Chains A and B, each alone.
Chain A
Amino acid sequence: MTEITLTVNGQLQTVDLPSMKRLLDVLREDLGLTGAKEGCGEGECGSCSVLMDGELVNSCLVPALQAEGAHITTIEGLSPETTAPLHPIQQCFLEHGGAQCGICTPGMILATHHLLAKHPQPTMEEIQEGLAGNLCRCTGYMRIFEAVEQAAKASAESTP
């Protein structure tokens, strides 16, 4: 067992666990954050996506040891209070049909967050490319693209 310290959604966490335990399982089992989902366990579907030091990672492929000292953002970190206003990306996914069954949604929203940080006003190609690591079987992606475009627009309008 190894002691690992990491910051998750702004909170410092220390956990004692096998060093090769997947970050996905650390989040879900040790920290009770079940927003990241396992869809394939091999880094193909992106439903376990989280932000690690600002980069989008498949948490099923990250051993706990590698997350030592890292800052992790999960879906739970985007709107911490149940009654609080949603993050603009979440609001746009809600309004524009970006979530259907919802299982890919946490990862898709974090991928969008990462995309808009890199490209605040993304082209359609940048959106398609930026989300290509996150599979959605329900939507055919069109509503998701619209949600991303609207989120970019909302963010441009709120920036003075």
Chain B
Amino acid sequence: MPNPSPAFNAAPLIGTSPIRKEGRAKVTGRALYVDDITLPGMWHGATVRSSIPRGRIRAIHFDSVIDWSKFTVVTAKDIPGHNFIVHLTQDHVCLAEDQINHYGEPILLLAHPDKEVLPAAVAAVHIDYEELPGVFSIEESEAGAAGDESKVIWRGDNPAHHSPNTFKTFHMRSSDDHAAHDDGLAKAFAEADFIVEGEYRTGAQEQLYIENNGVIAEVFRAPNGAIDSVTVSGSMQCPYYLVHALEHIFHLPAEKCRVIQTETGGAFGGKEDFPSVIGSHAALLAMKSGHPVKLCYDRAEDLIATTKRHPSRVRHRTAVSKEGKLLGGEIEVVIDGGAYVTLSPVVLSRATIHSPGPYHWPFLTVRAKAMATNIAPHGAFRGFGAPQSLFALERHMDRVAHTIGLSPEEFRRRNFLSAGMKTATGQHLTDPVDMDGLLSRALKESSYHAKRAEFDRTNPPSPIKRGIGFASFMHGSGFTGSGERRLNSLVKIELTADGRPKILVSSTEFGQGTNTILCQVCAQTLRIPYEDVLIAQPDTSVVPDSGPTVASRTAMIVGKLVERASASLLRTLAPYLAHPVPTADFDYSAACEVPSGYTPEDFRRAALAYLRDRGQLVSEARYEAPGNIFWDDDQYRGDAYPTYAWAVYVAEVAVDTRTYAAEVTGFHAVQEVGKVMHPVLAKGQIEGGVAQGIGYALYEKCVWQNGRMANNQMTNYIMPTSADLPPIHVWFEEVPSIHGPEGAKGIGELPMDGPAPAILNAIEHATGISFHEIPLLPEDIFERMTGSSSSGSKALNPAVDRDTRSESTVSP
């Protein structure tokens, strides 16, 4: 049937850049974030936190300067259900009862109608502690695991399954046959021409979303006074995570725990697991006060209390031939999980699987562990373990290349994975993989060789040392291992009363473009304009559980489900589209081909006719694991991810040998991410991730003092400003994947992985000094360049050194 209306151009929408769905509300300032919302009778909440990192509570005194009868006070005893925040385990207490495991641990909650009086009340709660020495480093925690009882701070619920202080371990081997593998590895080291070792460290990094964590909670009671249901609205990535947390805290069924995501001002993983904490707290205050309660942190509290990227220590021992072939490797990955397990096992898993990078290792053993410390729990942050292990790997690859006398690019080229090969988990790479091509393109676009030669020539007489370096890497799209099978995600699309499709998903928008790309997929599948498609606000009483908005999974996994649900909706409407004018003899219940051409008006008419006949139309699609994707949790082998995004990033730097400041002066990001769904959003994702990666490498340092983040202000936790960043050039190669809609793969986390090692590789080129730890601050460069005995930025006291530090890290 020919398209009767030339007015609508049904050209593909995926691959174009329509206006962001909620964009108008954002640029006019009308988008409502949680702190912009006030409910009638609403009170405000505050949290009383521990001022020690480890110990016991002896007594709590309420200072009589405050009239406590005007406040609601919640303690652990008020929790109707269980006193834990459920993540993967149940060790994370909601409110401390007697044991303190980290500085800033929540002990009491307060609510009052006037938020201005809360800080004085928090200060008027005096807590006596029996303090114990804290465990703040991976090494101290390892000492506890090795038998030093004074340093044992976590035992787990089943000591048979865990060494003390050890949240999780993985042992990954590049073969199913362990004995043959271990023999092969030993032989590789025995016969290697070179054995290269290295140790690499990364620091904690704050997500630093500009909107702090915040929620509003309400509790509804039955006529007999019993708690009937709980509703929490707020800034978050994963509404159903909070539903599960509330089920345990309130001992209510899931359908009585309603969670609504409000417009969310940045997240980056920082609103993945933490909203379960603040959401539970606000709900407890609402329960006891009988009022809606808003609990929104200010910046200082957000920085003290919420999750950060796991610090890491990664050790490499590599056997390599004089021809530059990797023969075997041993990698040890250790992450600092903080005081409770939370998400550390899955962060560790992604770190482990990404630790071999995009290379072929004939024999590889990776041992990984997540350790407990008396620091607030570390959590999800864009990249989720991969930036840590890829930083180590890509610094190490340069070190190996230098040791064996090959250029960094030639050494990598001799070891790249390519289609048909197997990864270290035994995953057979069936999709095209062209790391060689990506590397060539990245070197060409960045004029790498010309610049390298130029800098080698101009550096010697100059106080400014310039350098160029790169990193090659990949990022798995979607949940690790069997995660997607377990999530069992569901997507629905309903027709509204005016005949428009409305997407119902729990996938959240927090800047990355969820609303926009899912509407593009739906519109393209239904062959109607993008503007005609609606997407529901994530409200668990309305939307199904389409899984958490994490792990670079939304475009690929949820996008594919939206595509399938849209196709199913279209098939249901087909008779109405095929026969828009009803006649007595036409049977609308018989299946029918979707006509090849129809206008948006035809679609609307068909939708309305269907609704008139049948009342409603909701189509759905549930995740079905591809038959050829399999992961063995016990052996820790198999297809770790449905597919991967691949990339090579090139950084140019200038190191001023007078101020010891390093600055990124140019950046080129080349990646293969499958089909680019929305070029403007995609570029924005890459550029934003690169900026965070530059901050991770050169600016952002959490300064810990006795387990407390001492620089818990934007004044002295420094993220890049508009004046600090170089032009970031972004190129995409598109190799469509069968796993995503129109071939899309994951993109969100990838750009976090490459910048830090590329920058430190460039700094080595510039200065001749190999640095192995980030963040790399001017103090650290000073120490190495001058041989100074100060301990670099480790000795920073933000109270004293604040001004020097901020001046020296801002580029001229």
Contacts and interface: CB of A to CB of B under 8 A. Distances in A.
B690 A102 contact: no
B600 interface: no
A137 B209 contact: yes
A137 B268 contact: yes
Interface in B672-716: 680-681, 683-684, 687-692, 713-715
Given A40-B299, A99-B20, A101-B264, A131 B722 contact: yes
Given A99-B23, A103-B210, A140-B689, A78 B265 contact: no
A101 B512 CA distance: 7
B208 interface: yes
A41 interface: yes
Q: Tell me whether chain A's interface is mostly helix, strand or loop, or mixed.
A: loop
A146 B31 CA distance: 23
Interface string A110-140: 0000000000000000011101111111111
Given A41-B299, A44-B713, A76 B691 contact: no
Contacts of A86: 24, 27-28
Interface string B749-790: 000000000000000000000000000000000000000000
B210 A144 contact: no
Given A40-B713, A94-B20, A103-B210, A138 B684 contact: yes
A86 B27 CA distance: 9
Given A45-B210, A137-B692, A102 B265 contact: yes
Contacts, number: 172
A96 B680 contact: yes
Interface in A12-28: 28
B722 A128 contact: yes
B511 A45 contact: no
Of B17, B28, B264, B714, chain A has the most CB atoms within 10 Å of the CB of B28
A78 B27 CA distance: 10
Given A40-B714, A95-B19, A103-B266, A140 B33 contact: no
Contact of B210 (A90, A128, A132, A137): A137
A32 B657 CA distance: 52
Contacts of B263: 102
Q: Which of A99, A131, A132, A134 has the most CB of B within 10 A?
A: A99
Nearest to A101: B511
A135 B29 contact: no
Contact of B511 (A38, A39, A100): A100
**Which of A34, A42, A109, A127 is the most central at the interface, judged by chain B CB atoms within 10 Å of its CB?**
A34
A54 to B, nearest CB: 19
A97 B681 CA distance: 6
The bracket for how many chain A residues form the interface is 35 or more
Given A100-B512, A101-B266, A132-B723, A139 B27 contact: no
Q: Is the interface of B mostly helix, strand, loop or mixed?
A: loop
B30 A35 contact: yes
B728 interface: yes
A79 interface: yes
Interface in A69-98: 74-76, 78-79, 82, 86, 90-91, 93-98
A136 B265 CA distance: 10
Given A35-B30, A102-B511, A131-B722, A137 B714 contact: no
Given A86-B24, A135-B719, A142-B687, A37 B681 contact: no
Interface centre among B17, B29, B207, B264 (most CB of A within 10 A): B29
B148 interface: no
Given A137-B268, A140-B688, A39 B722 contact: no
Given A41-B298, A97-B681, A103-B265, A90 B28 contact: yes
Q: Which of B26, B35, B210 has the most CB of A within 10 A?
A: B210
Contacts of B27: 86, 90-91, 93-94, 98-99, 102, 105, 109
Nearest to A94: B23
Nearest to A79: B28
A37 B212 CA distance: 11
Among B27, B264, B268, max chain A CB count under 10 A is at B27
B270 to A, nearest CB: 10
Q: Across the A-B interface, give the 10 residue pairs with the lowest CB-CB distance, nearest first.
A: A35-B29, A103-B265, A101-B511, A102-B26, A140-B691, A75-B29, A100-B511, A140-B687, A34-B36, A44-B714
Interface of A: 28, 33-42, 44-45, 47, 74-76, 78-79, 82, 86, 90-91, 93-106, 109, 127-129, 131-145
